[in-house]
Amino acid sequence: MATLILGLGNTIMTDDGFGVRAVEALSSRYRFQGEIRLLDGGILGLDLLPRLEEVERLLIIDALEMNSAPGTIFRLEGEEMSRAFASKLSVHQMGVQDLLAVSGLMGHLPQEVVVWGVQPECIEMGAELTATVAAAIDPVVAGVLGELRGWGVGVELSRPSGAGGLTV
């Protein structure tokens, strides 16, 4: 069963890069058994459509504007996702709703879609996450690993010298 872990965000807009940074952490720290792909989706929006073909499970990691305290972690599925992505302001974030809608129209919508995210503190020019949001990386990574294990995916720590496996 093909699973795609998709990190979204703009890494030069401080906390907006959270999803990409979380996928980088997963890629550098862990190896996965089975057909698991990790993808830096950046701000590609509908350009990601071909990547959803033959994906049965989609796990998205992103900064989510949920009007909560910075660093608050969210796990969303179903209608909760529509609410989260409908309120977003940047181009790539609105693209998620469009991406999933078009994927569904083309018959490629994954059977399961889950979003893990964090409330950003700052979305301004800057290459580093704020300390508050950076502190959410490890708990989100742990949540994603739990999600994958629940789906029957084997997870192992990477060897320190091993290649990551992140697709760009």
Q: pLDDT tens across 113-158, in order?
A: 999 999 999 999 999 999 999 999 999 999 999 999 999 999 999 8
The structure's pTM equals: 0.86
Cα separation, 133 vs 119, in Å, equals 8
Tell me the sheet residues that pair with 57. 3, 112
Run of H or E including 32: strand 30-32
Confidence of residue 92 (pLDDT cuts 50, 70, 90): very low
Q: How many domains does the chain have?
A: 1
Q: Provide the domain limits for residue 55.
A: 3-167
CATH of the domain at 15: 3.40.50.1450
Using one digit for the tens of pLDDT, what is the confidence trace for 25-79? 999 999 999 999 999 988 777 778 778 888 999 999 999 888 899 999 999 998 7
Angle at 68 (CA atoms; ends 64, 74), nearest 5 degrees: 50
